[in-house]
Amino acid sequence: MTSHSIAAPRLDSNSAATISWSTLYGHRKRAARRLGDVYDLPLAKRVRDLLLGELGELSNTVARPAVLEVGAGDRSMGLSIAERFPLVGYQSLDIDPQGNHDYHDWSEVDRQFDAVFAFEVIEHLPIEAIPGWLDQIATRLAPGGRLLISTPNTYYPPAYLRDATHRTPLCYDELAGLVSAAGLEVDRVVRIYHDPVHRKLLKRFAFGWLFRLLGFDYARQIVLVAHRSAEPLSAAVEHRAAA
């Protein structure tokens, strides 16, 4: 488990009640058709590399991008961003009152950002809270803004089961469906895997067939990358976020 804390909306029991499960299931089915099988998802070495790559592209079009980390923990990712992109304005949201964070509750966030990211946070939330949590993120993204979310890969069970504070395992297509239901466009889902060369050869090539046969994967995490289109969010998303 990383040092990131949980940053969630206030759970007033109404944040997810206006979304029917049939609607969410429809989003998930469409995501599954588009993304294909879990083994079709591309591989990347590190979550950090994906984030810095997205910020690099963003810096080509936005002079001083504003980014928000949700569940920032010790804010160490902000230091990495500052070293690579000194013009990026980094802020953090975390419920930990001891942390030196800019925000401790969604109600305090009264602006929009060019990028929002939440690494190893969403699995700590109850499933009923996740739609409302994603609505909060969607309304804080500027048009064209990017979202990155990482979570344990459900096809690699130890990544989820080793932490007793994990509450919701999210398969890649389910995560994509939830993000789509919040009015965001899912660009891709990437599996995170990095091992010494000899282990890569064994897992990917020598025993790759066995992983598929058993329905498991060797990648420990997945990262979803999405963006907010120029079109306004639906009234339903805006209403849920304001609830």
Task: Answer for the pair 183, 237: CB distance below 8 angstroms, yes or no.
Answer: yes
* pLDDT per residue as tens, the chain (243 positions): 344 443 433 333 344 446 788 888 999 999 999 999 999 999 999 999 999 999 999 999 999 999 999 999 999 999 999 999 999 999 999 999 888 899 999 999 999 999 999 999 999 999 999 999 999 999 999 999 999 999 999 999 888 888 899 999 999 999 999 999 999 999 999 999 876 555 655 566 555 656 677 667 888 999 999 999 988 787 768 767 776
Only one residue has tokens 């699995």, namely: 123
pTM: 0.85
How many helices (H) and strands (E) the chain has is answered by: 9, 7
**Whole-angstrom distance, CA of residue 127 vs CA of residue 15:** 11
Q: Is residue 6 part of a domain?
A: no
Q: Is residue 141 part of a domain?
A: yes
Q: Is residue 16 part of a domain?
A: no
Q: What is the CATH number of the domain that holds 109?
A: 3.40.50.150
Count of the separate structural domains present in the chain: 1
Q: Is residue 215 part of a domain?
A: yes
pLDDT value for 201? 58
Q: Is residue 122 part of a domain?
A: yes
**Whole-angstrom distance, CA of residue 148 vs CA of residue 107:** 21
Q: Is residue 3 part of a domain?
A: no
Q: Is residue 191 part of a domain?
A: yes
Alpha helix stretches (DSSP H) within the chain: 21-35, 47-59, 76-84, 130-140, 157-161, 172-181, 197-200, 208-214, 235-242
Domain extent, residue 68, equals 21-242
